[in-house]
Structure 1
Amino acid sequence: MQRAGLSTDTVVRAGAALADEVGFAHATPSELARRLGVRVASLYSHVANADDLRARIALLALDEVADRTSEALAGRAGREALVALGDAYRDYARTHPGRYDAMRHPLSPDAAASSAGPRIAALTVAALRGYGLSPLDETHAVRLLGSTFHGFISLELAGGFSHSAPPSQQSWERILDGLDRTLRAWSTTPTPEGTR
C-alpha cells in the first residue's frame, strides 16, 4: 500500500533536494526514506531501485536546465547568447549542485533519447548561430563550450578557486570573452574539409 501523499514526483523531487544537500552520490533510497519518514520498501512503489532514483533525478535536472537555458537565451545572439548559456549552467550548478552532478549520470539509450538532453544540445547550437559556423564547426564548438563550462564549474564547486586571487567571477568573465573571440575567429577561418 502506498503512503498517502507520496508519489513518484514527490519522491524524485525529494531525492533531488537530498542530492543538492548531501551530494548526488549520497542520495540513496535508504537516506531518502529516512528523510521522508518511510520505510525503504515504501519508496519502491515509486522507483524501482537506487539506479532508477538516480536516473529520474538526472532526467529532472535535464528538464530544469533545458527550461532555464531556453528562458536565458530568448532574444539573444552572439556574445550575449554565449554569456547567457554559460551563466545558466553556472547558476544552476551553484543553486543545485547535486542535480548538476546528476546530469552526467548514464541513462539508457531510450531514456536519453526521450530526455531533455537533445533539447539542451539544440539550444546550445542555437546559441552559436550568431557566429556563422558551419555544421561541422558547430559540433566542435558545442564540445568546446561543454568542456569549458563543465570543467570550470566542477572545479569551482569543489572549491578549487576559493583560496587564490583574483575572484573566480573575474576568471569566468575572461573565459567567456576568450570563447567569444575564439568563436568569432573560427567563423572566419576556413579549414578544408577532412582536415579537422
Structure 2
Amino acid sequence: MTLAAVASRAGVAVPSLYKHVASLDDLRRLVATDCVAELTRVLAEATIGRSGPEAIHSAADAVRAYAHRHPGRYAATQVAPDLASEADAGLASRAEETIAVLAAALRGFGLPDDATVDAIRMLRSALHGFITLELGGGFGLPDDLDRSFRLLIDGIVAGIAALGGVRAAADLR
C-alpha cells in the first residue's frame, strides 16, 4: 500500500490525502485499526453465547473465513500496536477489545488469569500459521484442508485444557 496507490484508487491527488492522514504509517495504522475492529465484531458474533471448546472452534472458523473473504484486511490485523506510542492508542484499544472477546471465549476452560494470554497466543499462532500457509498455497497435498483445520483446532483446544490443568496443579503445590 502506498499513498499514490490509495490516491489513485480514490480518484484524488496525493496531496489531498494529507488532509486526512499524516503519513503512510498513519494510513496503515488507521487501516489496521478498522480491520482489527471489524475482525473483533466477527469474533464476537461467532462466540456470543458460547464458551470453551465450542467457542474456540467457532472463533477459529470465523477468523479463517474472514481471512479468506478479506486477505488484505486479515493481513492488516497482524500488526501489534506500540503500547508506548500515543499514535497507536486507537489500535491498542481495538486490540484490547479483541483480547477481551477471546478471553471471554476461554472462560469455559477455567484458566487461571495468568494463563489466558498464553492460551490466546497459542490459538492465534496456530490460526495464523494455518491461514498463512493455506492462503499462500502452502498445502499442496489433495487431502481435505477442512479436516486438517478441525484437527488443528482440536489439538489447540486440548492444549488449552491441559494448560489449565497444568497451571491448576502447579497452584496446588
- Contact residue 54 and residue 105 of structure 1 kept, 8 A: no
Report the counterpart of residue 135 of structure 1 in structure 2. 113
Residue by residue over 1:133-192, the C-alpha shift from the partner in whole angstroms, topping out at 9 and shown as x without a partner, is 11122222111111111111111111111x213122111011111122222333334442
Please state if 1:28 is matched with 2:6.
no
State the one-letter code of the partner of 1:84.
S
Q: Which runs of 5+ in 2 are unaligned?
A: none
Q: Which runs of 5+ in 1 are unaligned?
A: 1-26
- Structure 1: 4+ residue segments shifted above 6 A: none
For residues 69 and 110 of structure 2, what CA distance do their matches in structure 1 show?
33
Residue 116 of structure 1: CA displacement?
A: 0.9
Report the counterpart of residue 22 of structure 1 in structure 2. none
Once the two structures are aligned, what percentage of the paired residues are identical?
39
Match of 1:94 among 52, 68, 76: 68
- 1:165-176 aligned at under 5 Å gives the runs 165-176=142-153
- Contact residue 78 and residue 130 of structure 1 kept, 8 A: yes
Residue 117 of structure 1: CA displacement?
A: 0.2
Report the counterpart of residue 58 of structure 1 in structure 2. 32
For residues 86 and 112 of structure 1, what CA distance do their matches in structure 2 show?
26
- 1:63-78 aligned at under 5 Å gives the runs 63-78=37-52
- Contact residue 33 and residue 40 of structure 1 kept, 8 A: yes
Change (3 A) 1:95 1:74: same
Q: CA RMSD in A?
A: 1.9
Change (3 A) 1:77 1:106: closer
TM-score normalised by structure 2 residue count: 0.87
Please state if 1:79 is matched with 2:49.
no
Match of 2:102 among 113, 124, 131: 124
State the one-letter code of the partner of 1:145.
L
